[in-house]
Chains A and B, each alone.
Chain A
Amino acid sequence: MENLDYARLQMAFTLGFHIIFACIGMVMPFFMVVSHKKWLNTRKPIYLKLTKAWQRGVAIFFVTGAVSGTALSFELGMLWPEFMKHAGPVIGMPFSLEGAAFFVEAIALGFYLYGWKKLPETFHWITGIIVGISGVISGILVVSANAWMNSPTGFDVVNGAYVNIDPVKAFLNDAWFTQALHMTLAAFAATGFAVAGLHAIQILRNKRPDLHKAAFKIAIVFGAVAALLQPISGDLSAKDVAQRQPVKLAAMEAHYETQKGAPLYIGGIVDAENKTVSNKLEIPKALSFLAFGDFDAEVKGLNDFPEEDLPPVPVVHYAFQAMVGIGSLLMLAALIYFISLKKKSWLNNKKYWWLFAILTPLGFVAVEAGWVVTEVGRQPWIVYNIMRTSEAVTPMPGLKFSFYLYVTVYAILAAMVTWLMHRQIKVLNNSIG
């Protein structure tokens, strides 16, 4: 592999790592404040216990997210100096606002974590809400910077220089809203199902079921609502991609031939050399409808784009299938949860808890798959149709070593955080009261 490949792998790996921690750090504070509010309202000790346990989770994930985010803010420049040299000023606005939002989050978290019994109760609780809100705002701002890479606006390229920069226009680019909406909902769905799933596992093990059922209920409501809303946002995203990045849409669907009334492929094995897809399930005219809202609309196929502008089709297609598949599964589980509110007998059925236990990691698999679709689907461009990834990479050789270093360090970190969470749950289960 070349230097460029290692740079891309390192970026993918560190982003993939950061996304999980950032999502949890952004959504868990909401679970925490709901539990905290229940404690303030009911004074039932299990809610206090739960709030404190989640608070530790928030602290650990926030810091891991923060340090991996700090690393990323440097890595953008270290791996892609030419990209940052030109694009840095253009997408500076969301990043500088993100810095501010992140700062507010850190300040509010300082108040929250250390404010027990020291701050007035309501004020203390509100600082927890500020942690959550500023976290979500940070996420939206970062995603809007990424959206600019998919939908670059707010500047002109003259002799290789980026001139006439309008940072506000670049910030509010065509893709920012659909991408930010999709990611925010995804964060809530993935974290909601992951946290609910972990507590479902404890319920199955019959450890402190009172406590874990209370926890499950808070987390699943966030996850289920987000999972039910996600298809609407997904539809907006698909139509947006169809308009702006037809080649990405074609790769997502492994759609090679330009066609009117194009069918939607579900599953399938992509043969990139022969440009065919086998073993797929075909829904006639569905792709045309989903992409353009018209059953007979023409969808441009991969064969009609220049070879050098094509992303790696199989990766994008499989990732897209994984994302949509898991999304549908979570939506179904969300429905099951809401029905179980009426049919209380389900709660005594082990299969019910098994379902949520199995879904634990899947939301995050979908989040990662979604980012693969966005990022790999944009290749070979780092800024769509403006700058190629190969033009942006650092001239420093030997990125291989940097890549292995990051993989080692982050793998150890991930193992440690998992182990810490395991210990938290153990302590919680053995607690009295």
Chain B
Amino acid sequence: MLYVVLFFTFFSLFLYVLLGGADFGAGIVELFSSRENKELNKLTVYKVMGPVWEANHIWLIILIVILWIAFPVYFNIIIIYLHIPLTLVLLGITMRGVAFIFRHYDAVIDGTQVWYNRMFRISSLITPIFLGMSFGALVSGKIVVTDDYSNTTFAEIFMYPWLNTFTVLTGLFYAALCTFLASTLLIGETEGDIRKMYSQKSAIFTVVLVLVGGAVLFYGYWYDLVFIKEFLQNKISLIAIALSALLLIPLWFAITKQKRVQTRIYAGLQILLVIFAAVHTHFPRLIITSTSEVNMLENTAPESVMYVLGISLIIGGGIILPGLFHLMKSFNMIRIPSRSGKHTAED
């Protein structure tokens, strides 16, 4: 059962990074667009992601719930020492969620839309950055686990471990990844000028992604971060990263040929390879603190808990996944607004 639980843990992580990421990215694309394109992007995102965007974010809840049930000791470290960045992530998720719904469900369309839009775009950028910073902090080797609070300052325990150059880089990396995902996804959903816009954005953010990714690796190597060092010495991880880089070529062809399904498969595969590469080297020691490496598979919940959780996940997955698939399939056929397309409050 441990393996079933582990499967769902990484499955949720993968889907959240992919779907939630594309969702955040859509807001970032909008932030970095011209005024006219901002409006077009808003309509596209509403049509394409509207039906599924809430579902995209539930993967995070599933992930958190699995962590606390099955890996309580592990979860304990994350939740105590990353209290501040996670609070900021929550704030971002809250702001983003309500801004999205407000801008599409307010009965009156007027000047307040400007504020909803701003709130949506800015929180779309900030949330993945803090999320990326939290991921980065976990493997940075800077978290100080201690019971002795008298000899340390607040900042040493609750600020510096997640607020440093490395985590800022990982935060930017995740934000770039989101933007790349969103623009790649939206290419297949649009036509004409707006499609061109997404192609450009996709190209730009592919470059940004490679650059920031390179910076993360370089910084880690230069400053001797265990996680990065071992990552760079691990053949399988390197092969996975190389493969994901190679996939850019067929991805690019698929984009130019408007193959919607293929672009998504390639983009999904890339994320899978990146997560695999990152996790593979160090699994199961996925938290690296200043003094030790915490093994995820030690101190797990007892077998009775794992058993019930595993069964719940299998049943839940059996209901959710076909439903989700059907939902995505049903709304894939939606017409995409053209430049003359008008958004009405009635729908």
Q: Name B100's closest neighbour in chain A (CB-CB).
A: A63
**Stretch among B229-237, B252-260, B267-275, B306-314 lining the A interface:** B306-314
Instruction: Please determine whether B91 and A74 come into contact, CB atoms closer than 8 angstroms.
Output: no
Instruction: Please determine whether B94 and A71 come into contact, CB atoms closer than 8 angstroms.
Output: yes
- Interface size on A, as a range, is 35 or more
Give A138 to B346 CA distance when docked, in angstroms: 29
Q: Does A168 contact B (CB under 8 A)?
A: yes
Q: Which residues of A contact B147 (CB under 8 A)?
A: 395
Q: Does B301 contact A (CB under 8 A)?
A: yes
**Stretch among B76-84, B160-168, B193-201, B285-293 lining the A interface:** B76-84
**Stretch among B22-30, B32-40, B52-60, B238-246 lining the A interface:** B52-60
Give A104 to B322 CA distance when docked, in angstroms: 11
Give A64 to B58 CA distance when docked, in angstroms: 14
Q: Name B115's closest neighbour in chain A (CB-CB).
A: A416
Instruction: Please determine whether A103 and B51 come into contact, CB atoms closer than 8 angstroms.
Output: no
Instruction: Please determine whether A405 and B80 come into contact, CB atoms closer than 8 angstroms.
Output: no
Q: Does B75 contact A (CB under 8 A)?
A: yes
Instruction: Please determine whether A100 and B319 come into contact, CB atoms closer than 8 angstroms.
Output: yes
**Stretch among B62-70, B202-210, B217-225 lining the A interface:** B62-70
Instruction: Please determine whether B80 and A394 come into contact, CB atoms closer than 8 angstroms.
Output: yes
Q: Does B156 contact A (CB under 8 A)?
A: no
Q: Does A276 contact B (CB under 8 A)?
A: no
Query: What's the nearest-Cβ distance from chain A to residue B194, in Å?
Result: 20
Instruction: Please determine whether B107 and A63 come into contact, CB atoms closer than 8 angstroms.
Output: no
Give A92 to B316 CA distance when docked, in angstroms: 14
Q: Give the contacting residue for A73; candidates B64, B101, B308, B327; CB below 8 A.
A: B64
Contacts known (A59-B101, A110-B54); A89 close to B90, Cβ less than 8 A: no
Q: Does B330 contact A (CB under 8 A)?
A: yes
Instruction: Please determine whether A423 and B72 come into contact, CB atoms closer than 8 angstroms.
Output: no
Give A427 to B345 CA distance when docked, in angstroms: 11
Instruction: Please determine whether B64 and A89 come into contact, CB atoms closer than 8 angstroms.
Output: no
Instruction: Please determine whether B54 and A109 come into contact, CB atoms closer than 8 angstroms.
Output: yes
Q: Which residues of B contact A102 (CB under 8 A)?
A: 58, 61
Q: Which residues of A contact B327 (CB under 8 A)?
A: 107, 110-111
Give A168 to B312 CA distance when docked, in angstroms: 11
Q: Does B304 contact A (CB under 8 A)?
A: yes
Instruction: Please determine whether B107 and A67 come into contact, CB atoms closer than 8 angstroms.
Output: no
Instruction: Please determine whether B79 and A93 come into contact, CB atoms closer than 8 angstroms.
Output: no
Query: What's the nearest-Cβ distance from chain A to residue B327, in Å?
Result: 5
Q: Does A424 contact B (CB under 8 A)?
A: yes
Give A424 to B105 CA distance when docked, in angstroms: 9
Instruction: Please determine whether A116 and B347 come into contact, CB atoms closer than 8 angstroms.
Output: yes
Give A84 to B93 CA distance when docked, in angstroms: 22
Instruction: Please determine whether A63 and B101 come into contact, CB atoms closer than 8 angstroms.
Output: yes
Residues 298-345 of B at the A interface (beta carbon under 8 Å): 301-302, 304-305, 308-309, 312-313, 315-317, 319-320, 323-324, 327, 330-331, 334
Give A103 to B327 CA distance when docked, in angstroms: 12
Give A398 to B149 CA distance when docked, in angstroms: 13
Give A427 to B109 CA distance when docked, in angstroms: 11
Q: Which residues of A contact B64 (CB under 8 A)?
A: 73-74, 77
Q: Name B80's closest neighbour in chain A (CB-CB).
A: A81
Q: Does B102 contact A (CB under 8 A)?
A: yes
1/0 per residue, CB under 8 A from A, across B140-156: the answer is: 00000001010000100
Instruction: Please determine whether A103 and B62 come into contact, CB atoms closer than 8 angstroms.
Output: yes
- Interface size on B, as a range, is 35 or more
Instruction: Please determine whether A52 and B346 come into contact, CB atoms closer than 8 angstroms.
Output: yes
Q: Does B97 contact A (CB under 8 A)?
A: yes
Give A95 to B61 CA distance when docked, in angstroms: 10
Q: Give the contacting residue for A92; candidates B65, B80, B90, B105; CB below 8 A.
A: B65
Give A116 to B51 CA distance when docked, in angstroms: 12
Q: Which residues of A contact B316 (CB under 8 A)?
A: 96-97, 99-100, 103
Q: Which residues of B contact A84 (CB under 8 A)?
A: 68, 72, 75-76, 79
**Stretch among A159-167, A264-272, A358-366 lining the B interface:** A159-167
Give A69 to B304 CA distance when docked, in angstroms: 27
Give A86 to B317 CA distance when docked, in angstroms: 26
Give A78 to B317 CA distance when docked, in angstroms: 27
Q: Does A409 contact B (CB under 8 A)?
A: yes
Q: Does B50 contact A (CB under 8 A)?
A: yes
Q: Give the contacting residue for B102; candidates A88, A113, A405, A420; CB below 8 A.
A: A420
Instruction: Please determine whether B73 and A85 come into contact, CB atoms closer than 8 angstroms.
Output: yes
Q: Name A422's closest neighbour in chain B (CB-CB).
A: B107
Q: Which of A64, A77, A97, A113 has the most CB of B within 10 A?
A: A77
Q: Which residues of A contact B100 (CB under 8 A)?
A: 63
Instruction: Please determine whether B83 and A167 come into contact, CB atoms closer than 8 angstroms.
Output: no
Q: Which residues of B contact A168 (CB under 8 A)?
A: 308
Q: Name A92's closest neighbour in chain B (CB-CB).
A: B69
Contacts known (A77-B79, A89-B302, A99-B58); A423 close to B107, Cβ less than 8 A: yes
Instruction: Please determine whether A78 and B320 come into contact, CB atoms closer than 8 angstroms.
Output: no
Contacts known (A85-B76, A427-B108); A70 close to B60, Cβ less than 8 A: yes
Q: Which residues of B contact A52 (CB under 8 A)?
A: 346
Q: Which residues of A contact B94 (CB under 8 A)?
A: 67-68, 70-71, 409, 413
Instruction: Please determine whether B308 and A70 come into contact, CB atoms closer than 8 angstroms.
Output: no
Instruction: Please determine whether B98 and A64 come into contact, CB atoms closer than 8 angstroms.
Output: yes
Q: Which residues of B contact A77 (CB under 8 A)?
A: 64, 68, 75-76, 79
Give A91 to B304 CA distance when docked, in angstroms: 12
Contacts known (A92-B301, A423-B106); A85 close to B75, Cβ less than 8 A: yes
Q: What are 25 pairs between A and B in contact, CB < 8 Å?
A: A60-B101, A66-B54, A70-B90, A78-B79, A78-B83, A81-B76, A84-B72, A84-B76, A89-B302, A92-B70, A95-B68, A103-B55, A104-B323, A106-B58, A107-B327, A110-B50, A110-B55, A111-B327, A118-B330, A165-B301, A165-B302, A167-B304, A396-B83, A405-B91, A413-B98
In the complex, given contacts A99-B58, A106-B55, what are 18 additional A-B residue pairs having Cβ atoms less than 8 angstroms apart?
Answer: A63-B97, A63-B101, A66-B58, A67-B97, A74-B79, A78-B79, A84-B76, A85-B76, A88-B68, A89-B69, A89-B72, A89-B305, A93-B308, A99-B62, A106-B54, A110-B50, A163-B302, A397-B149
- 5 tightest A-B CB contacts, nearest first: A92-B69, A100-B316, A77-B79, A89-B301, A110-B51
